[in-house]
Amino acid sequence: MTGDPFVLALAAFAFLALFHIGAHSMLLKASVGNAWTISPRDAPVSPGPMAARAERALRNFLETAPVFLALMLAVHVTDGSGLAETGMVVYLGGRATYLPAYLSALPWARTTCWLIAGIGLVLMLIGVLVT
């Protein structure tokens, strides 16, 4: 196993992506039933609230994914600063708590996690630019 923080961050990112996809899939199946999930899905269905939240959380995760991956590439190419490494950890921490916060429907929890992840991206960007 590697101790390279960038490799570990990418592995954690991949785990988060798979976790989001799996959570959405399981909640959707629980909401609409197996008959629809194994069908060609020609007829639209209305997922339950938890499945709908998981889908929105997945979409939001995928919206920030290209930014994170682009910054990870930039950090690798430029031998980014410690600020960039801090940003990676902050982003991943915010994203790791985003799905549970979204599913909980606690006021401000989702927004707080989103802001933390966004601050992580900004730190990574600054870390790349000042290298």
CA distances from 98 to 4, 26, 44, 53 (A): 25, 17, 27, 11
Report the pLDDT value the prediction gives residue 1, as an integer from 0 to 100: 57
- pLDDT, position 131: 75
In 10 A of CB 42, how many CB atoms?
Answer: 6
**Which domains are seen in the chain, by residue range?**
5-129 (1.20.120.550)
Tokens representing 24 are: 């959405």
Supply the DSSP symbol for 108.
Answer: T
Low-confidence ranges of the chain (pLDDT < 70): 1-2
